[in-house]
Chain A
């Protein structure tokens, strides 16, 4: 596996209509990391996400995704993306199999027929996400949690090197969150995928996140997340899954001057 970072941002800045949103953001994400980006509303989380994916152009600085500027990445299949609340309308006439297979098209192009490896990749993605029994269901008729797994399977069908998840825990119940966490845990432990997600809450993902980036216009913290066993007395008996990642990060870090503003390199 290459030591080169899969994502690299160097002094990235971005403004919307003259209003600065991000300023001087520098970070590197290595293969196999599970990174959660958090921060207050308007702190630039979604903007940074879209910049890393090449959906926006930075006003200043440079970004590399898998070694090239995101918009010049030809092998788009190497990046999986699950949008925020990717819920299909009830009248969207597509089966789970159709939606998951569509994830493979970034690899196949517009006209090439899927071969045996493609069909196997699609079936593996459905198996990994536990939706193999839903293949013929209409995706719009599934629950929010099931639809979320369908879209994760779509992202996995291209066998990407890294996966971007936009607020994966928003709008799904606790049981679905735990199921989703188990799927991601399997991905990280067995398939060595790099995961980058935006999150307001840890939810059940607390155990998986090994790097937390707090963003409020600039990087306010970058390092391993706090461990709840040590800090549970701060939380008045609430389960960690109910805590706002941003509030907690703010409480734990913003008032403490001794913490590094940037991640320390090993």
Chain B
């Protein structure tokens, strides 16, 4: 498999599967959580570089543990959501910089972690991304009803028997897995965008939640393909190009849909 095919494969996997988890994250008003978790993943990957061990287990472990800590801070220590997220965010970046500075290849390691490197992705990277993201998407779909009830109304969900605390923690842990799996492709700084933006764009137009899941995946995957194609032609960094395209798509949904419904409404009233 050529490096270009692997880049397309990585972009499709991350773009197509991240919004499955992202759809619920967006509806829980946690759009920035991926950013905080991304910075924790940065610390995990820097720690792995320092210890010269395989990055995935350590990064995944630290990020999921951080996701559990985040929920604990909010639910049991009664910290405000923005304060809890800030604690996680800055802990990740500070610990990451300290550990990375102790390694010999500080600058190049930091750049790869921050912005990803889709064009240098290996076949084993691709397999790991597929396993972690596929697993996260499957768990999300298996728990679809539980997650849907929770995002619809937490109190009503609790009355219906949903264990809201553990469900919220599981969702945050799934977001952490997506972030870790996507870092190799688009980097710590941008992975959260692919978790949230295609899902948010889909939710502007889809009429049902199930349709929004499908459309979010379609937006993410097609943005990934178009982003890699454009990046190769323009010699732009692929991760950033994919995210820029996702943002253009989101803005198009924000601007185009109200105009479309106004025109449709005018036509309707003219009939």
- Residues on A close to B: CB < 8 A? 53-55, 76-77, 79, 81-83, 86, 88, 91-95, 97-99, 102-103, 105-106, 108, 110-111, 136, 138, 151, 154-155, 158, 164
Contacts and interface: CB of A to CB of B under 8 A. Distances in A.
Interface stretch (B64-72, B129-137, B149-157): B149-157
Contacts of A86: 153, 156
19 contacts: A76-B160, A77-B160, A79-B159, A81-B155, A86-B153, A86-B156, A88-B152, A92-B203, A93-B207, A94-B208, A95-B207, A99-B152, A105-B145, A108-B145, A110-B142, A110-B145, A111-B142, A151-B156, A154-B156
Given A93-B202, A93-B209, A55 B160 contact: no
Contacts of A151: 153, 156
Given A55-B155, A93-B206, 18 more contacts: A54-B159, A81-B160, A83-B155, A93-B212, A95-B208, A97-B208, A98-B148, A98-B209, A102-B149, A103-B160, A105-B149, A106-B160, A106-B161, A108-B145, A110-B144, A111-B145, A155-B156, A164-B159
Interface residues on B, range: 20 to 34
Contacts of B75: none
Nearest to B206: A93
B158 interface: yes
B27 interface: yes
B143 to A, nearest CB: 7
Nearest to B200: A91
Kindly name the residue among A93, A105, A110 whose own CB sees the greatest number of chain B CB atoms within 10 A: A93
Interface string B210-226: 11100000000000000
A108 B144 CA distance: 13
A55 B202 contact: no
